Amino acid sequence: KSVKNWASILFHDFALATVFVSDAQYNRNIHFDSSPQAVRLYLLYNHWAFKVLLYFFIMVNLLYIYLELLCLIVFTARLVHYAKVIPPVKFWKDPKNICIIALTLVDMIIYGSLEAAKIYCVRWSRVLRPLLLVNVTEGRQLRRAFRSIRNALPQIFYVFLLFMFSLLVFSLMALKLLGKRNLKNIEGYPYFTDYLEIVFQLYVLVTTANSPDVMMPAYNAGSLFTIFFILYILINTYIFMSVFLAVVYNSYKKYLKEEIRQLVRAKRYKMARAFDVLQEQKEGCSQPVLTQASWNHIVRQVRPDITDAHRDLLWSVCDDKNQGVIGKVAFVQLADLLNIEVITLKSRPHPLQNLFPTIYLSAPSRLICRLVQHRGFVIAFDLIILVNAVFIGLDEENPLISNSEWGFLALYMLEILLKLYVFEPRSFFSRHSFWNWFDTLIVLSALIATIINSALKSSAGYTSRQILDIVFVLRVLRLIRVVDSIKRFRIIINTLIRIGPAILTFGQLIVVVYYVFAIVGMELFKNKVKFFDNSTHPEHAYCGNPLLKGHSFAQLGYCKNNFNNVVSSFILLVELTVVNQCDGFASVTHVSARIFFVLFHIVVVIVIINIFVAFVLEAFFVEYSVDKSQLQTSLEKKIEELELAVAQEKVDDNLVNAMETIVNDLTTGQATKPNLMFKIASKRYRTVDALLQRMFEADIDPEDFAEIDESQARSYDPRPVSNVFFYLFSIRV
Amino acid sequence: KSVKNWASILFHDFALATVFVSDAQYNRNIHFDSSPQAVRLYLLYNHWAFKVLLYFFIMVNLLYIYLELLCLIVFTARLVHYAKVIPPVKFWKDPKNICIIALTLVDMIIYGSLEAAKIYCVRWSRVLRPLLLVNVTEGRQLRRAFRSIRNALPQIFYVFLLFMFSLLVFSLMALKLLGKRNLKNIEGYPYFTDYLEIVFQLYVLVTTANSPDVMMPAYNAGSLFTIFFILYILINTYIFMSVFLAVVYNSYKKYLKEEIRQLVRAKRYKMARAFDVLQEQKEGCSQPVLTQASWNHIVRQVRPDITDAHRDLLWSVCDDKNQGVIGKVAFVQLADLLNIEVITLKSRPHPLQNLFPTIYLSAPSRLICRLVQHRGFVIAFDLIILVNAVFIGLDEENPLISNSEWGFLALYMLEILLKLYVFEPRSFFSRHSFWNWFDTLIVLSALIATIINSALKSSAGYTSRQILDIVFVLRVLRLIRVVDSIKRFRIIINTLIRIGPAILTFGQLIVVVYYVFAIVGMELFKNKVKFFDNSTHPEHAYCGNPLLKGHSFAQLGYCKNNFNNVVSSFILLVELTVVNQCDGFASVTHVSARIFFVLFHIVVVIVIINIFVAFVLEAFFVEYSVDKSQLQTSLEKKIEELELAVAQEKVDDNLVNAMETIVNDLTTGQATKPNLMFKIASKRYRTVDALLQRMFEADIDPEDFAEIDESQARSYDPRPVSNVFFYLFSIRV
């Protein structure tokens, strides 16, 4: 073979290994072709710009209906790209995306022609749209959430049946006990005489929306009837709702464990395949090995951002015995090793020290440094923030108070400048210094907004409401800073920050479910209730619908809670999630409209909110229980061995602020130490995925690289069992 | 020594050992004197009649205030009795009961004299009363619940501070964003202009009571403001409330483990002391041993109700090697062994078989037996119950339907009679046959009530509303039976039945907290709001308080929700637990009255309800995870070895109904088998305590009988650390 040909094969090998390693690192599970062209296309397929574009068009598709054709073209392009990447057999096995696009197209054509013929038609394909969000290759987290739900459903279903049974029995008892007593409710209608009405009212009582109104007529008739309601609330509101949570939580945990096991196995398999591509047969070794040169090449491809020193550190962890080559087991660790955030601390002197060494190292300058690093400096600025909070609360029309804002801004600017004087700027604005970035951005934006505001005021003589709003929001946001100085709060805040990305997953889940309900709700209730901005409009008092005259819905001014457009539908659905009230809509359409609201409550509150709560609970328990992984320990040990560790006494338990303290120590003193140090990032920046993985990966034999067999593969990149009941959830889930 | 003297000493030894064993079995932790007289008094002290009397008088004390002196005398008597039982030093170490009684007495005297002098005075000692319920020797479960709360408090406190911080920051932002826009709420008052008002409104939003009203003015002014509210609801209602649950649950679990450890150790220690009293030195044994005779004596004393055969079975489990004597380790198991419910099945023939053997064993009679035992029999009666449910739902004024009730009653009676014909009556009404008892009682009472009702109707010509109510309730209760025939439901129902006793403990806890709030509420709000039975009363429209004219409290007819007496206060507090609404009471007194309601919400909803949810969650997880204990396994093995086991295929997974099936098998066939069989009671009848104990007792060395040292004793029979903050909770907790 010619050298050129050989080089191209080598290049392809590295490219393939790189793809395997980075797939393992980020837990991507796509079975792509291993031909050179497919690998190149696959790399392009995973490019962030394409992903952003796709999500942008999904959003456009969800929001604007007339741009649909353009969106469809984008989706089709992406799908064709995907088809080129993976083997054709695998592509045709999962025809859901094609189906969605084809169905949407068919629906568009039907709707267009019927519209042209002026025949009323429902755009039913809209309900399918959010499934695109679930079904795109990138929606792994979302699919996992859907899988959790699907797995919890059978268990929830039985508890739900029991709950319904209890509801029906209680309703029957209410009918028998209260139906014949000629009681009237507050509106003067007969109370508890219709069985279905009772069932509905007692269901709403579970959501606590109509408490205590629903029991008042009975209570007024006799105090003993409250025993019935108290028993009902105890059993159905408290016990059954807890049981729902218990069932959801239990199946969530069980399923999560299996999911993580599959993920770890898939990752191992990919790393082993990468190793197979790169392996060499060295003399003196019975097993194939990987040389440091190939290893370095791969790591440079996968993580171009890490320094040479950091890479050498990782190598020395892998090649524990200093043999110059590593085996399969050591190579497989790489994916996890790359996920451990190692902070490289360069002991760079402050730029000012280089420019004006005598001034910067003079006694007054050193005093400033010591003052700024003192604990009192933080406390002083916390106090200033609290005083600022009081001033914000006071009336800003008082000139003294509105001018004091300039003083506070100056103080905050001074704080930032002092810190920049003392700490090395690049370390100060390093990637993990969340609060430094936060502070600087907030203070600078507040400064700019305040200047614009007063410029407008003095020149044009008026105050822009929008800019003032921004100024206020920024001022108040500044107060949040206080929280981070108190250690007890930091633990809670850290956990909350860590579960942030997962909350976004649940956000997507909620958006998918809300969208489906919003589309159905808009078909059912569009323009039944109208809101008039002008309160003198004659129809304003009854929301433009005579059926609402005198109805509490109109009296309480709920007219803007309607299904007239996507935005107001979403806001209404949020309200329904908190308190499920729907009397108004049942009045303007039909009593059976209540089914829609009950269904929404079951899906969102009983299932999704409980999964969310289970997730938050689990995240907190993981936080309370999981310690360092074995790999992390060995990495730390290696750092210490190489004497590159940051002095332990500086780290102590105050991990979060430690970084700042250390940076400052390095800049001011100790020139004898090596000019490069490593530290494993604090717990704050760990991902939930990594935490969960660590909880369960001990179960798996580290020498086990077996490819997942077909039955297991089905559940890890699952093609679900055909089941009519779960069809809705089975789209690529 | 004379024989008589020796006999009396022996008698005392056995009495002492008996007390130790039964204390270990029921986990009582009282350090009584071991003198003969004290032991006798201690036995009397634990007599159930005295306990019932005490609880009766506590209830009287809580409900009726003028019987106080009598109650005080009873409590003092009980306290004196207790003082005689335990060593004086220990008694005076815990002076809380004495303090409560003394304080109550002082308060009574002051109140009486001031009342005589007609000076207004608050009966402050009432708040102390519920502490008696916590502080009595029998309130172990309740004290444990209080301890759980006390241990969770510091953790909850920090999350609560963070929550309050978030609330204050959001309120400040709301004030700045919305306060200057001249918005009006639905009543026409300025919207979000007062900071404290905003804080309160946003706190209430967390309880979901004022959603969506609180956001409507802002939403009407601009849709973008909903972002503020949605963020607030997400963070404070969903995330923070989940974090509260996580924190409460986590500290609950941690504390529970320690608690159970202490309990197991205390139990071991007591069993070891009992062994020390009874031990003998046998030749050929290096260790002191216990003979079977002494063992039998002890078991007969502790559990007089178990049969000789059952006792022999237990002995054979303890004396595994058939040596005739047992050592300390084997003896210590006894307490747990006695707690495993073993069902003794005597293969008694049916009494009718003895009386009329030819008829009972004839072909038609056997056919009836086979029919009744068939699965179809259960299904048929389930269908009848469902048909009955439909009939109950229909209008009972229709003569056809009201007469059909007689038919259903006849069918149910027939079912019970048939079962009694087929199954041995004593087995049918055995202690564990919950549903048999339930059925029979419900059907018989329904029969009696229906007969009385129709007798009244035909003779006096009128229908008593009360009796009719009872008839209806009984009819509806009959429907519950259906649930037990469906296996999937049975698992859930079993867990619910098992956590029943623990829910009672939480009931006591709630009563204690409610009582304190009810007493304070009555002092603050008594007669501020009045309810008039007669709706034509001129003050009816505004609850007797002119301040409520036109207020939504009066308009919604909430007048009966008041603090005028203990019963209505309790009902109001239940309503406040579900949805915290207090505008009415703030209007008739002062805005600061809201503090009372916020405090109630914090204590009851954030703390106690979360502990309750944590408890239900834990009970379900225990249910899903814990298998048989080692002891239970060895007992089962022994039963099988002795060939006394009930055939396994009869037991299968349908454990609950198994018993019935087995009894019937024994009565109808297989005369060759021994006439006595054992079976370990199904999971349904296990206690939560025993389950929890099993989860953690593996940690403790079975050979470890060390007495709990002073520091540990403090936490297991805890005298709490002096701490002003926790003083309220520290009364014998």
Question: Whole-number mean pLDDT of chain B?
Answer: 76
The distance of A495 to chain B (nearest Cα, Å) reads 10
Residues B67-84 have pLDDT tens digits of 667 777 777 787 787 777
| Pair of tokens at residue A274 | 């990468």
| Pair of tokens at residue B328 | 């300390």
pLDDT of A319 strictly over 90: no
User: How confident is the model at residue B232, as a pLDDT?
Assistant: 92
The CATH fold of domain A358-490: Four Helix Bundle (Hemerythrin (Met), subunit A) (1.20.120)
A15 residue type, one letter: A
User: Mutate which of A208, A442, A484, A529 to disrupt the B interface (most B C-beta within 10 Å)?
Assistant: A208
Distance CA B103, CA A246 (A): 44
B377 CB-contact burial (10 Å; exposed 0-12 / middle 13-18 / buried 19+):
middle
Distance CA A212, CA A220 (A): 12
Q: Residues B166, B169, B171, B177: is their CA dihedral positive or negative?
A: negative
User: How confident is the model at residue A619, as a pLDDT?
Assistant: 75
Residues B203-252 have pLDDT tens digits of 988 888 887 888 888 888 888 888 899 899 988 988 888 889 888 888 87
Give the number of C-alpha atoms closer than 13 A to the C-alpha of residue A294, restricted to the C-beta side. Answer: 24
Let me know how long chain B is.
733
Nearest Cα to Cα of residue B333 among B314, B352, B353, B311: B314
Residues A271-295 have pLDDT tens digits of 888 888 878 777 777 778 888 888 8
Q: Kindly list the distances between the CA atom of residue A684 and the CA atoms of A379, A500, A665, B47, B599, in Å, as whole numbers in the listed order.
A: 23, 11, 22, 57, 34
User: How confident is the model at residue B691, as a pLDDT?
Assistant: 61
Q: Check B479 against A172: CB less than 8 A apart.
A: yes
Q: Can you name the residues that pair with A325 across neighbouring β-strands?
A: A291
Q: Kindly list the distances between the CA atom of residue B374 and the CA atoms of A241, B363, B377, B419, in Å, as whole numbers in the listed order.
A: 36, 16, 6, 12
Q: A178 or A321: which carries more pLDDT confidence?
A: A178
- Cβ pair B446, B409 in contact under 8 A: yes
A715 to chain B, any CB pair closer than 8 A? The answer is no
Other CB atoms within 10 Å distance of the CB of residue A98: 15
**Which value does ipTM take for this structure?**
0.79
Candidate CATH numbers 1.10.287, 2.40.30, 3.30.420, 3.40.50; the one for domain B500-625: 1.10.287
- Angle A315-A316-A320 from CA coordinates, rounded to 5°: 115
Query: Could you tell me the pLDDT band of residue A267, with boundaries at 50, 70 and 90?
Result: confident
pLDDT of B716 strictly over 60: no
User: How confident is the model at residue A497, as a pLDDT?
Assistant: 75
* A 566-585 residues inside an 8 A Cβ radius of B: 567-568, 571, 574-575, 578-579, 581
pLDDT of B193 strictly over 80: yes
Distance CA B306, CA B678 (A): 12
- Cβ pair A384, A408 in contact under 8 A: yes
Bridge-based pairing state of the strands B342-346 and B290-291: unpaired
Ranked by mean pLDDT, the top range of B330-344, B393-407, B439-453, B605-619 is B439-453
From chain A, pick out residues whose CB is under 8 angstroms from the CB of B493: 162
Other CB atoms within 10 Å distance of the CB of residue A77: 14
Q: B125 or B239: which carries more pLDDT confidence?
A: B239
From chain A, pick out residues whose CB is under 8 angstroms from the CB of B220: 531, 557, 560
pLDDT of A478 strictly over 60: yes
Distance CA B673, CA A234 (A): 48
What DSSP state is assigned to residue B361? T
User: How confident is the model at residue B170, as a pLDDT?
Assistant: 92
B197 residue type, one letter: E
From chain A, pick out residues whose CB is under 8 angstroms from the CB of B560: 216, 219-220
User: How confident is the model at residue A621, as a pLDDT?
Assistant: 77
Q: Kindly list the distances between the CA atom of residue B537 and the CA atoms of A162, A186, B438, B541, in Å, as whole numbers in the listed order.
A: 45, 17, 46, 8
Residues A373-397 have pLDDT tens digits of 888 888 888 888 888 888 888 776 7
pLDDT of B481 strictly over 50: yes
Other CB atoms within 10 Å distance of the CB of residue B37: 11
Q: Check A158 against B620: CB less than 8 A apart.
A: no
pLDDT of B320 strictly over 80: no
Distance CA A475, CA A389 (A): 9
| Pair of tokens at residue A177 | 């006990």
pLDDT of B167 strictly over 90: yes
Residues A576-604 have pLDDT tens digits of 888 877 777 888 888 888 888 889 988 88
B57 CB-contact burial (10 Å; exposed 0-12 / middle 13-18 / buried 19+):
buried
Query: What are the b/e assignments for A576-605, b being 16+ CB within 10 Å?
Result: bbbbbbbbbbbbbeeeebbebbbebbeebb
User: How confident is the model at residue B163, as a pLDDT?
Assistant: 92
| Pair of tokens at residue A146 | 């859907």
Q: A338 or A376: which carries more pLDDT confidence?
A: A376
Distance CA A396, CA A406 (A): 12
User: How confident is the model at residue B618, as a pLDDT?
Assistant: 79
Let me know how long chain A is.
733
User: How confident is the model at residue B332, as a pLDDT?
Assistant: 80
Region A177-195 average pLDDT: 84
Q: A165 or A678: which carries more pLDDT confidence?
A: A165
Residues A611-628 have pLDDT tens digits of 888 878 877 777 666 555
From chain A, pick out residues whose CB is under 8 angstroms from the CB of B492: 158-159, 162, 243
Residues A623-651 have pLDDT tens digits of 666 555 666 677 777 777 766 655 443 43
- Cβ pair B544, B532 in contact under 8 A: yes
B497 to chain A, any CB pair closer than 8 A? The answer is no
Nearest Cα to Cα of residue B276 among B89, B34, B25, B38: B34
pLDDT of A413 strictly over 80: yes
Region B613-642 average pLDDT: 71
Q: Check B578 against A233: CB less than 8 A apart.
A: yes
B670 residue type, one letter: Q
Nearest Cα to Cα of residue A259 among A695, A648, A653, A550: A695
The CATH fold of domain B357-485: Four Helix Bundle (Hemerythrin (Met), subunit A) (1.20.120)
pLDDT of B565 strictly over 50: yes
| Pair of tokens at residue A304 | 């171009």
Distance CA B14, CA B329 (A): 19
Candidate CATH numbers 1.10.287, 1.20.1300, 1.10.10, 1.25.40; the one for domain A143-259: 1.10.287
B400 CB-contact burial (10 Å; exposed 0-12 / middle 13-18 / buried 19+):
exposed
User: How confident is the model at residue B733, as a pLDDT?
Assistant: 27
User: How confident is the model at residue A592, as a pLDDT?
Assistant: 83
- Cβ pair A50, A78 in contact under 8 A: yes
Distance CA B645, CA B233 (A): 59
User: Mutate which of A213, A620, A621 to disrupt the B interface (most B C-beta within 10 Å)?
Assistant: A620
Q: Check B612 against A173: CB less than 8 A apart.
A: no
Distance CA A369, CA A530 (A): 63
User: How confident is the model at residue A646, as a pLDDT?
Assistant: 54
pLDDT > 90 fraction of chain A, expressed in percent and rounded = 3
pLDDT of B670 strictly over 80: no
Region A478-506 average pLDDT: 77
Query: Could you tell me the pLDDT band of residue A325, with boundaries at 50, 70 and 90?
Result: confident
Residue of B nearest to A246 (CA): B617
Q: Kindly list the distances between the CA atom of residue A553 and the CA atoms of A526, A568, A576, in Å, as whole numbers in the listed order.
A: 16, 16, 14
User: How confident is the model at residue A163, as a pLDDT?
Assistant: 92
- Cβ pair B509, B603 in contact under 8 A: no
Other CB atoms within 10 Å distance of the CB of residue B319: 17
Query: Could you tell me the pLDDT band of residue B654, with boundaries at 50, 70 and 90?
Result: very low
Domain residues of chain A, as ranges?
Answer: 31-136, 143-259, 358-490, 500-625
- Cβ pair A597, A584 in contact under 8 A: no
A160 residue type, one letter: F
Distance CA A685, CA B46 (A): 58
Nearest neighbour of A613 by CB, restricted to B233, B245, B620: B245
Q: Check A242 against B612: CB less than 8 A apart.
A: yes
- Cβ pair B564, B526 in contact under 8 A: yes
Same fold across A143-259 and A500-625: yes
User: How confident is the model at residue A701, as a pLDDT?
Assistant: 59
Q: B462 or A187: which carries more pLDDT confidence?
A: A187
Query: Could you tell me the pLDDT band of residue A728, with boundaries at 50, 70 and 90?
Result: very low
Distance CA A394, CA B172 (A): 10
Query: Could you tell me the pLDDT band of residue B305, with boundaries at 50, 70 and 90?
Result: confident
Region B94-101 average pLDDT: 74
What DSSP state is assigned to residue A705? -
| Pair of tokens at residue B281 | 């030195």
pLDDT of A167 strictly over 90: yes
Residues B499-529 have pLDDT tens digits of 777 777 778 888 888 988 988 888 888 888 8
Stretch (H or E) spanning A228: helix A225-232
From chain B, pick out residues whose CB is under 8 angstroms from the CB of A172: 389, 392-393, 476, 479
User: How confident is the model at residue A703, as a pLDDT?
Assistant: 57
Other CB atoms within 10 Å distance of the CB of residue B399: 8
pLDDT of B629 strictly over 70: no
